[in-house]
Each structure stands twice: as structure tokens, then as C-alpha cells.
Amino acid sequence: VSVPLAELLPHPAYSGEATSGDIALGRLQRAVHFRWGLGPVCLPGAGLRFRPGTRCVTTGWGDTG
């Protein structure tokens, strides 16, 4: 699925790839219908803190092969 962005809002603390704030919010030009392999991403609250050693899982997009 390819949908152009209507708006991109980078994190205000972004200062380069793999730095603090390396995230952005994008608003698509049209709605996307979810299906297998295409779904929403849930972000944690800003106050969430993990204890050292906590195992985490990350998600992303791009080339998967």
C-alpha cells in the first residue's frame, strides 16, 4: 500500500538518525483499511519508564526482505 503523506510532524528533539527523538507522526492523505500485515501502531504514554534490563519489542516499516 502506498499513500502519500498530507503532513509530517517530526519530534521536536530530533537531531539525527538513531538519536533521542528519532520518531515522527504522519497524517496520510486518505484512509487505509487494515488487514493482515497492515495495522495500527500503538505508542506508549510519555510518562512510561522501563526498568533497566526490561525486554522490549520494536516495530517498524520498510524493506522486510
SS3 per-residue string spanning 19-62: CCCCCEEEEECCCCCCECCECCCCCCCCCCCCCCCCCCCCCCCC
What is the model's pLDDT at position 44?
77
48-65: per-residue pLDDT in tens?
888 899 887 766 665 555
3-50: per-residue pLDDT in tens?
898 998 888 888 777 666 777 888 899 998 888 878 877 777 888 888
pTM above 0.75, yes or no: no
Contacts of 50 (CB under 8 A, 6+ apart): 56
Cβ atoms within 10 A of the Cβ of 14, count? 13
What is the model's pLDDT at position 40?
78
- Any idea where the domains of the chain sit in the sequence? 1-31
